[in-house]
Amino acid sequence: MIGARFLAALALAATVAVLGACDDSVRFRLRIDWQRHPLSQACPTTPAGAYSCTAIPVSCDLRVRVRIISASDGQPHYSECFTIQSDGDACQLADMPITPREIPNEMVRVQVIVWTIDELVRSEFDFEASDGCPVTTEFHTTGLPRLGDDPTASPPGVPVPALAGETYFAVGESPVATVTLGCPRWDSLDAASCQASALALEATVRDPRTFGSVPRAQAGDMDVRFGAPVEDLPGVYRVDLSPQFFTAGLSPTPSGALVWTGTLDAPPAGTRCLRVGMQGVAAPTISCFPIASAAPPIRVEGFLVGRLMLRDILNLQLLSDVPEEGIVFGVVVDAAGQPVQGAMVSTFENATVVYPDENLQTVGFTGTSSKGYFLSTDAEYDSIWRASVPGGLMGDGDARGGLVNDHVSVVIIQLTGVIPPPIDAGLGGGGGPDAGPDAGIDAP
């Protein structure tokens, strides 16, 4: 790789991370500065008069494009789109996990462009046909973005950046490439509509075998989002990760109880879902529920089905993979969260329900096993689930869920009372549907 240079990290003032590069290469980082000219897209200052990222509050969700192209022919060497959550200030630009790339030893143009999600939606930007950001923005020779003759006129299809800048950089001549950002619409990053409607969201992700939290060691590889599926055809639902349907990936807490956090731009209503993915280790899982209260923080709970568990579930239905229309896996528990044996499960739409044994090896039709498991391959999305057991205990009526394309929908039916534990022979007890509060998601 002689003659190549690597993009290593983005920093606002100092290196925040240095990514690996070959021994014979020279690494460089990006540094962001702020436009100071008062007549041309100037940035705000702190009360002390300093130009700083802390002077630009952020209460709206953002998309950021970092792009490096050849100065001679425009050949792209690096282009990546990042999402920034609506909490904090512009210093969050330092946290973007830039992927290292080989950059030829030549003169390049380095671009950093920031839009609000609201601006991209207003301009009718096609999220689904892209990686989530527009590809580029036109720049003046000054390195500031071109805004047109009337920057207040915002026609559809032309998203106007809140912050943007471009610099020419000779790769190999310096360890730092400084990009000065103009701030044509910096105030849109802290719009009143975002401030008024931002609601704190907290999500817990559990293993359906144990009901314990997934382990912290796996949190960094998980993609956790909150939203609702899209109806393509009558009764056919799919997950669209565009921001108008699902949040950007929530962030796991760095310490303490493992919770994923984020903000919502508006109070949620009706049935909403927590979608959890973990590439190569678990099936895409979605858990849906009615929102009882919009008072912050909004706390929700979801599940992640591991590959080994999924394999057993699919084998029960003679399937090789999650069917396109999806599949429903559920558990019946009592008010204490313990699995319920002998429960009969149904939906108001009369879905077909079968009952796997406790080891997910065979299915029956006469009620749940000791683990409380049930399966359905024809339950409509947003079905209302109910369960009953001899003695009169019934579900609490809050269970929702059904088929979502290419996903395992997890449904938990909680009964209104407590089932007395069976009398054992003194061999010891468990404490939950399976052993251990932190058993982890099974690998392939």
Same domain, 177 and 238: no
- Which pLDDT score is estimated for 166? 96
Same domain, 344 and 226: yes
End position of a domain, from candidates 195, 227, 246: 195
End position of a domain, from candidates 136, 160, 195: 195
> Under 8 Å CB-to-CB from 274, ≥6 apart: which residues?
203, 205, 224, 225, 226, 286, 287, 300, 301, 302
H-run or E-run covering 48: none
| Cβ-contact 307, 444 below 8 angstroms | yes
pTM above 0.75, yes or no: no
> Under 8 Å CB-to-CB from 37, ≥6 apart: which residues?
none
Same domain, 29 and 148: yes
Sheet holding 383-388, edge to edge: 344-347, 383-388, 400-401
Same domain, 212 and 336: yes
pLDDT tens-digit map of 382-402: 999 999 887 777 776 789 999
Same domain, 182 and 138: yes
- Which pLDDT score is estimated for 420? 66
- Which pLDDT score is estimated for 431? 39
- Which pLDDT score is estimated for 21? 33
**Structurally, how many domains does the chain consist of?**
2
Q: Is residue 427 part of a domain?
A: no
- What beta strand segments (E) does 171-233 contain? 176-181, 199-206, 223-227, 230-233
Same domain, 257 and 314: yes
| Cβ-contact 79, 98 below 8 angstroms | no
Domain with 73, as residue range(s), is 4-195
188, 190, 196, 198 alpha-carbon torsion, rounded to 10°: 110
Q: Is residue 98 part of a domain?
A: yes
Same domain, 126 and 263: no
| DSSP 8-state secondary structure symbol assigned to residue 197 | H
Residue ranges of the chain with pLDDT lower than 50? Answer: 1-5, 8-24, 149, 151, 423-439, 443-444
Same domain, 184 and 252: no
Same domain, 246 and 381: yes
Same domain, 204 and 180: no
How many degrees, rounded to 5, is the angle at CA 362 between CA 356 and CA 368? 25
Same domain, 177 and 227: no
End position of a domain, from candidates 141, 171, 195: 195
| Cβ-contact 5, 103 below 8 angstroms | yes
- Which pLDDT score is estimated for 371? 95
| Cβ-contact 224, 300 below 8 angstroms | no
